[in-house]
Amino acid sequence: MLNNLTIVIITYNRPCFLKRLLTFYQEFKTEMKILVLDSSSSESLDNNLINQLKSKNITWKRYDQSIFFVDKISQGVKYIDTKYAVLCADDDFLFPTSLDKAIDFLSNNNDYSSCLGLQYKHKVYDFFFKSKVAFRRSAIGGSGSSEELCSERVFKYLSGGTVYYPMYAVHSTEHLTEIWKETGKVVSDWGLSEVFPCSVSLCLGKMKVLKIPYTTRETNSFTWYDDSRKKEMYSPNKVDIVKARLAEIISKKDNVSIFKGIEYSEKSIDVLLQRTLNNGEYDSMLKVINKRNKLKEFIFSFITKHATQAVVFVKYYIIYRATPLKYLSVKTGDHLRDSLLYNDCSQSENANSRKDY
C-alpha cells in the first residue's frame, strides 16, 4: 500500500538531517512518494543533496526563508497526489513497514482519522572510540483515542490523557488537507501550532496507536524560547482566535449548539494552558525533571567514558534489548543503524535551526 502514500518532510537549514533521512527512505526502494517542503537558504544546499532531491519519487518545493512552517504545510499539501499522507520532521525516521500497517488499518476503519505506533528516541554515543546507537521508548503508557465524541477526544488529548498525538500520524490526504487548511487560517505562532492541527484531526475521527515500532526521533536537549517568548506565543488574542474556530468545528462534528462548542473548546484549551504556562507548581516540577535528566546524563557519560570495556558492553546490550531494532525487519534495522552511525549530524545544526523549523 506504500504506493498510495506520500511522506511530507518539512525542513529548514538542516542539510545533514535531510540527506540522512532521504538516504534512509531511498534504501527501501518502495513506490512511496516524498514531498519536501524546504525553506532553507541556498547556502545550506550542496550538490549531493540537490541530486537526491531530484530523484524521480521526490517532489521538492522551495519556499522563502521567512515563511512560518504552518503556512508552508498548508500551502504544500496541495501537491500530494496519493490517497494517504504523513508528516515527517527531517530529524525523525518513520518505519515504512509500520506506515504500511497504518494505511491498512485506516482503510478498514473509517471512524479513525489517524494511525501511528510506538515512538522511540535515538542518540549516538561513543563507546571507547566506537560509535553505538542507543534508543529509549518515549510516550510510555500513552494510548489512542476511541471516544465517540469529538469534544471528548480533544479534551482527553489537551488534558494529557493520551500522551500520543496525531501530528506525525498517517492520515488520508483528504483529512490532512482539511487539517492544515483550518490551521493556516487561525494559527500564526508556535504556541498552538501543533495543538490545533492535532485537535482538528481528533475532531475528524479517532486515533489508533498500533503496538509496533513506528518512529524514532532525535534526542534534543535544548530550548529556544524563554518565559517572555512563551507569553507572546500564548497571547490572549492568539488563543481566542483558536478557541473560536475550534468551538465551531466541535459544534459541527458533535452536532451541538455553538454555545456548547464554545464551552467544550474553552474547557479543553484552558486545561492545556494550565499545564503549559508557567506557574509555581509547574515550574518546580520542571526544575526537578531537569535536574534528574542532567544527573542521568552525567552518570551515563561517566560510565561510558570511565568504565571497563565489559561494563560498557553490558550497558549497551541492556539498552539495545529495549530498542525497536529487535522488532523491526533486518533490512529496516540495518538501514536505520547505518543512517545514524555513518551520517551522525551535529546537534548545533539542529539547535540553530529549530526555532525557524
**How many angstroms separate the CA atoms of 142 and 225, rounded?**
27
**More confident of the two residues 316 and 156:** 156
Spatial CA neighbour of 197 closest among 59, 301, 87, 324:
87
- Whether residue 90 is contained in a domain is answered as no
Least confident of 153-162, 165-174, 219-228: 219-228
Range list of H helices, the chain? 15-26, 47-53, 69-76, 96-107, 150-158, 173-186, 195-204, 227-233, 236-254, 258-276, 280-306, 309-321, 330-342, 347-354
Would you state the cell numbers that stand for residue 299, as one nine-digit string?
A: 552518570
Spatial CA neighbour of 114 closest among 57, 37, 176, 50:
176
- Residue 296 above 60 pLDDT? no
- Whether residue 356 is contained in a domain is answered as no
In total, how many domains does the chain have? 1
Read off the pLDDT of residues 192-202 as tens digits, 9 standing for 90 and up: 999 999 999 99
**How many angstroms separate the CA atoms of 89 and 20, rounded?**
12
**How would residue 113 be classed by pLDDT, with cut points 50, 70 and 90?**
very high
Yes or no: say if 225 and 207 are a contact pair by the CB < 8 Å rule.
Answer: no
**More confident of the two residues 121 and 171:** 171
**How would residue 105 be classed by pLDDT, with cut points 50, 70 and 90?**
very high
- Residue 285 above 50 pLDDT? no
- Whether residue 14 is contained in a domain is answered as no
- In sequence order, what are the beta bridge partners of 47? none
- Residue 136 above 60 pLDDT? yes
Please report, rounded to a whole number, the percentage of residues in the chain having pLDDT higher than 70: 80
**How would residue 284 be classed by pLDDT, with cut points 50, 70 and 90?**
very low
C-alpha 230: how far from its chain's center?
20
- Residue 308 above 80 pLDDT? no
Q: Of the ranges 166-175, 299-308, 314-323, which is most confident?
A: 166-175
Instruction: Calculate mean pLDDT across residues 155-173.
Output: 96
Least confident of 174-178, 221-225, 231-235: 221-225
Q: For residue 84, what are the contacts with CB-CB under 8 A and spacing of at least 6?
A: 1, 4, 5, 6, 103, 106, 170, 171, 172, 173
In degrees and rounded to multiples of 5, residue 81 shows phi and psi of: -125, 25
Instruction: Calculate mean pLDDT across residues 236-265.
Output: 97
Mean pLDDT of all residues belonging to the chain: 85
**How many CB atoms sit inside 10 A of residue 57's CB?**
14
Residue with cell 551522525: 344
Would you state the cell numbers that stand for residue 145, as one nine-digit string?
A: 483515542
Yes or no: say if 340 and 124 are a contact pair by the CB < 8 Å rule.
Answer: yes
Put residue 241 in one of left, alpha, beta given phi > 0 → left and psi -120 to 50 → alpha. Answer: alpha
Read off the pLDDT of residues 325-353 as tens digits, 9 standing for 90 and up: 666 776 787 788 888 877 767 766 666 55
Strands 112-127, 84-89: pairing is: unpaired
- Whether residue 27 is contained in a domain is answered as no
Give the helix/strand (H/E) hosting 82. Answer: none
Least confident of 31-35, 116-120, 136-140: 136-140
**How would residue 219 be classed by pLDDT, with cut points 50, 70 and 90?**
confident
C-alpha distance across the termini of the chain, in Å: 30
Helices 150-158 and 258-276, interaxial angle, to 10°?
A: 10
**More confident of the two residues 219 and 295:** 219
- Whether residue 8 is contained in a domain is answered as no
Would you state the cell numbers that stand for residue 39, as one nine-digit string?
A: 525553506
**More confident of the two residues 28 and 313:** 28
- Whether residue 159 is contained in a domain is answered as yes
- Whether residue 13 is contained in a domain is answered as no
**How many angstroms separate the CA atoms of 36 and 209, rounded?**
26
- Residue 3 above 60 pLDDT? yes
Q: Of the ranges 136-140, 195-199, 317-321, 333-337, which is most confident?
A: 195-199
- Whether residue 4 is contained in a domain is answered as no
114-129: b (≥16 Cβ within 10 Å) or e: bbbbbbbbbbebebee
Q: For residue 137, what are the contacts with CB-CB under 8 A and spacing of at least 6?
A: 118, 119, 120, 322
Instruction: Calculate mean pLDDT across residues 139-160.
Output: 94
- Residue 115 above 70 pLDDT? yes
Q: What is the pLDDT of residue 289?
A: 41
Range of the domain at 249: 96-351
